[in-house]
Amino acid sequence: MSRPERTYLDWNATAPLNPAARAAAVAAFDLVGNPSSVHGEGRAARALVEGARRAVAVLAGADAAHVVFTSGATEAANLVLTPVFRMGKAPLAIGRLYVSAIEHPALREGGRFPRDAVTEIPVTPAGVVDLAALERLLAAHDAATGLPMVAVMLANNETGIVQPVREAAGIVHRHRGLMVVDAVQGAGRLPLSIAALDADFLILSSHKLGGPKGAGALVARGEVLMPAPLVHGGGQEKGHRSGTENVAALAGFSAAAQAALDGFDARNARVAALRDRLEAQMREVAPDVIVHGRDGPRLANTSFFSLPGLKSETGQIAFDLEGIALSAGSACSSGKVGASHVLTAMGFDAALGGLRVSLGETTSEEDVQRFLAAFERVAGRRRIGEAAA
């Protein structure tokens, strides 16, 4: 029996390496110099790092001087989520972290905050952060402990639902708090500007954009207010993140950031049309399929669905055997598959499984058709199982 042709529909977990990013990273491996060295070889490596900083700043609508490179989004989250900040040279205390119930685990874990200093912000049944609840929580915040910090993602990694970040930031700043936005899924898929979002910090990841794994960034609104370093040592990244920069990965990150802005509107329109056709045909095959967030603003590439009676882990394995790579929620727990904390936060029964299809610029009509053929077979086996029961 021949193995089925593979179809990759898990771009929200990691995007395939962009050809320009691959070429840039490979070329950078030939740069022998350390970017902190002052000789010609070192200066060449430094020029590449600073070029990457400018490219990421353009992507984020920020100043290049305010981009701090990290090993990825998880490190960036752990860098910024801390009760210890400095305003210039003076220490500044952050008393409590308020994090939405649908955040990626990298933020829900609270970073360097003690667990008893982390408060969850509920979301509505539509999967959107509850702004009224946020207002109540911040109104009750004990200012004597320090300023509040709030973390709300730009777009949810499972459902693709776009969050009201600017509105949340307005509430946060009225209460003299700091606003952290996980923009990992939104970058390259939504217009992105740290000023337009009214955010104090953005978190970005290279490999979600089609760059290499192992590079990310914390983007700040300014240079005066910054978190205490997470990684100490040689003082790279202006002392915010010590350690020799990953030059090759940053070269790829730079190319991927530039590619993400090229043809932005046309790419998103094409992907959205594919996603909408996929969902319409899923409903024809299985009228009871639940597409989460379909009536609200979502990322153009994301479809998070549930088939009643089909567990997420069973569904993921079934599609993998059909040659379809998709996800049961977020790829963040070393292969673990369990109840979606996002669906639970939205009020769904924890037993309801969720499967995520996420598309990208190279996804084809044929890829969608192969998925739909597999979907019909998986849904059919589910019905046979129900009849036998």
DSSP bridge partners of 150: 98, 179
Please give the order of strands across the beta sheet that includes 355-358: 290-291, 302-306, 355-358
Q: Which amino acid is at 157?
A: N
DSSP 281-303: HHHHH-TT-EETTTTS-B-TTEE
Cβ partners under 8 Å of residue 361, min gap 6: 267, 271
Residues 19-33 as b/e (b if ≥16 CB within 10 A, e otherwise) read: ebbbebbeebeebeb
DSSP bridge partners of 298: 161
**CA atoms within a 13 Å half-sphere pointing along the CA-CB vector of 306:** 21
Instruction: Give dist(CA 305, CA 294) in Å, integer.
Output: 10
DSSP bridge partners of 226: 86
**Beta carbons of 219 and 70 less than 8 angstroms apart:** no
Instruction: Give dist(CA 110, CA 114) in Å, integer.
Output: 7
Most distant CA pair in the chain, distance: 74
Q: CA 304: distance to chain centroid?
A: 15
Catalytic residue ranges: 332
**Considering only CA atoms, which of 280, 286, 283, 317 is closest in space to residue 379?**
286
